Amino acid sequence: MKRFRVKPGDPILPLGLTNLKTGHSPVFNIYTTWDPKDTTAEIWRKANGKHVLIITSGNTPIYEVGTINRYKHDQTWNPFFYDNKEYTYNVEMVDWATLENLPSKIEKYGSKLRSYVYK
């Protein structure tokens, strides 16, 4: 698998635990707030093996599968996804889908994932 350099940390904001069937999150419904055909959910794997969604506009992801990145809170600049067993903030992009196709990923990643949005 091709690896890319580690990015210094993109700002994101949390949406909370999101139901991939209904689109419900504590902030809003991702399927009714954004155009499902023109919004992309990137699926990132944390060091502990758990997955998170990071949502962006457009029908393609910002990063390529295999990219290793770090993320920070848009307002506090505190880093996300720290793993105290691996001593890393790094996450790896493993998959993506437009919101329209996101329900097809439920079997592989589960029906609820912590979600974030790029700023």
**Residues 53-110: pLDDT tens digits?**
999 999 999 999 999 999 988 888 888 887 777 767 889 999 999 999 999 999 999 9
How far apart are alpha carbons 34 and 40 in whole angstroms? 10
The partner residues of 10 in beta bridges, in order of sequence, read 71
Cβ-based burial of 36 (10 A; exposed 0-12, middle 13-18, buried ≥19)? middle
Cβ-based burial of 85 (10 A; exposed 0-12, middle 13-18, buried ≥19)? exposed
How far apart are alpha carbons 16 and 67 in whole angstroms? 23
How far apart are alpha carbons 103 and 119 in whole angstroms? 24
Q: What are phi and psi of 34, to 5 degrees?
A: -115, 160
The partner residues of 51 in beta bridges, in order of sequence, read 45
pLDDT for 1 beyond 80 = no
Compute the mean pLDDT over every residue in the chain, rounded to the nearest whole number.
Answer: 90
- The pTM assigned to this predicted structure is 0.89
Count helices and strands (H / E) in the chain: 2, 7
